[in-house]
Amino acid sequence: MIKVSIVSIGDEILIGQTINTNSAFIGEKLTELGFDVIRNYVVGDNKNDIMKVLEEAEGSSDIIFVTGGLGPTHDDITRTCILEYFNTELVFDEGAFSNIQQLFKKRGREVTEVNRDQAFVPKSAVVIENKRGTAPGYELSKGGKLFFILPGVPYEMKGMMESTILLKLESFIKEKKIFYKQKVLLTTGIPESGLYELLGDIPSLIGDCKLAFLPSQYGVKLRISAKGINESEVENRISGVEEKIKSLAQKYIYSDEEKPLEAVVGELLRKMKLTIAVAESCTGGMITNRLTNVSGSSKYFNRGVIAYSNESKMQILGVSPQTIEKFGSVSKEVAVEMARGIKKISSTNIGLSTTGIMGPTGATPTKLIGLIFIGYADDRTEFGMKFQFGDDRLLNKERSSQAALELVRRMILKINNET
């Protein structure tokens, strides 16, 4: 296997102001190609620390990715470290400068001295063009090890990976004939330990494959993986395990293609030629936000109403004041009337609703924080379901939106909703 390390540079990551999504992106792409990502390092904007980590990474890996610290401001010191580490000097790069000029022209702004400085690159580097920003990347090598130095802005780094680096690495690894494959099954509606027990004796289930359980508020991801020198043999091993898991836990698996639930539900709606409208109270727009993250969602998503106030529940959705009076706005009855109402005014096939207490305030002696009711209405049936989640407002919104979308998935596929 070809070993890869990823070095992220920046105090902002160490002190937790920026979450390290760059390592995740690079790790995912390199794994898919068949590289063995063995280590991530994060180090601050400090020359000694950067030099030390570069050495450590060079010692353990064949390919080293470095991101961050290439920006135009004074706290960006990666270029200085690279000059010293590779014992080289700066030269002006016409291509990089022309790219900067074009970017500024497009945005209708003037190129300044600060930006022009970014066109100076290490002499021994191959320049990697950055079409989305002003800092070019560098490819360098040392002692047979390959280094890619990229800016830390995720959108710029991703653009450079996709347009240049991944293509190069793909042809590089094809010559090595090592095969790593993985399959991910996304489940929801069952806790990690419940799923673990449902699957029974894991070693006999997985044989020579690996199986990982990855729980989050959206459910438990199952990752099956295997390595080998024969591609189809590796694939067969994995699909054998996949079939066994599916036969045991089919009901809970919403995707075997790593698609988020909103995309899975969207595809089902599209395939069945169904439309949906959503009336949200406690989830406050998270469900519609998720549904509309999917390109093409306008085909099946008609509208949403975020009915936070009681009057908006009554006025737009036609929830009856008596129902609110009698059962409270957080109740199964109100959830059902909201779902029925949004379906009616939108003339969609499905109406979905949420009402609940997300916290940290709003609890009553009989209605705890984390209590939520999901309402569902279609042409044949309507009902409400009760869920009791935890104390954290954002997690509760996320869990509720997941439970609501899962309910729609199961209704379309006619899967029993009981856990």
Sites for a copy of itself among residues 160-189 (CB under 8 A): 182, 184
Beta bridge partners of 382: 377
Other CB atoms within a 10 A radius of the CB of residue 331 amount to: 21
Total residues contacting a copy of itself (rule CB under 8 A)? 104
Stretch that binds a copy of itself, among 90-98, 136-144, 194-202, 376-384 (CB under 8 A): 194-202
Is the Cβ of residue 395 or residue 415 nearer to a copy of itself in the bound state? 395
Question: What residues from 246 to 305 belong to the interface with a copy of itself (CB under 8 A)?
Answer: 278, 280, 283-293, 295-298, 301-305
Stretch that binds a copy of itself, among 30-38, 91-99, 167-175, 377-385 (CB under 8 A): 30-38
- Cβ of residue 352: shortest distance to a copy of itself, in angstroms? 12
Question: What residues from 136 to 155 belong to the interface with a copy of itself (CB under 8 A)?
Answer: 153, 155
| DSSP letter for each residue of 55-119 | HHHHHH-SEEEEES--SSSTT--HHHHHHHHTT--EEE-HHHHHHHHHHHHHTT----HHHHGGG
- Choose, by CB under 8 A, the member of 90, 178, 274, 345 that binds a copy of itself: 345
Residues making up the chain, counted from first to last: 419
**Angle, vertex CA 108, rays to CA 102 and CA 113, nearest 5:** 65
Does the footprint of a copy of itself cover residue 49 (CB under 8 A)?
yes
| Residue reference for tokens 């699957």 | 199
The 325-344 contact track toward a copy of itself, x by CB under 8 A, reads: --------------------
- Choose, by CB under 8 A, the member of 116, 221, 270, 332 that binds a copy of itself: 221
C-beta of residue 23 within 8 angstroms of C-beta of residue 150: no
Radius of gyration of the chain (CA): 26
Is the Cβ of residue 109 or residue 177 nearer to a copy of itself in the bound state? 109
Does the footprint of a copy of itself cover residue 79 (CB under 8 A)?
no
Nearest-10 Cα torsion for 246, 252, 257, 259: 180
Stretch that binds a copy of itself, among 121-129, 203-211, 370-378, 408-416 (CB under 8 A): 203-211
Does the footprint of a copy of itself cover residue 318 (CB under 8 A)?
no
Question: What residues from 105 to 134 belong to the interface with a copy of itself (CB under 8 A)?
Answer: 109, 112, 114-115, 132, 134
- Helix (H), strand (E) at residue 36: strand 36-43
Distance CA 47, CA 29 (A): 29
Question: What residues from 352 to 411 belong to the interface with a copy of itself (CB under 8 A)?
Answer: 359-361, 390, 392-395, 397
| DSSP letter for each residue of 186-237 | EE-SS-HHHHHHHT--HHHHHTTSEEEEEEETTEEEEEEEEEES-HHHHHHH
Question: What residues from 297 to 316 belong to the interface with a copy of itself (CB under 8 A)?
Answer: 297-298, 301-309, 311-312, 315-316
Beta bridge partners of 90: 122
- Cβ of residue 414: shortest distance to a copy of itself, in angstroms? 27
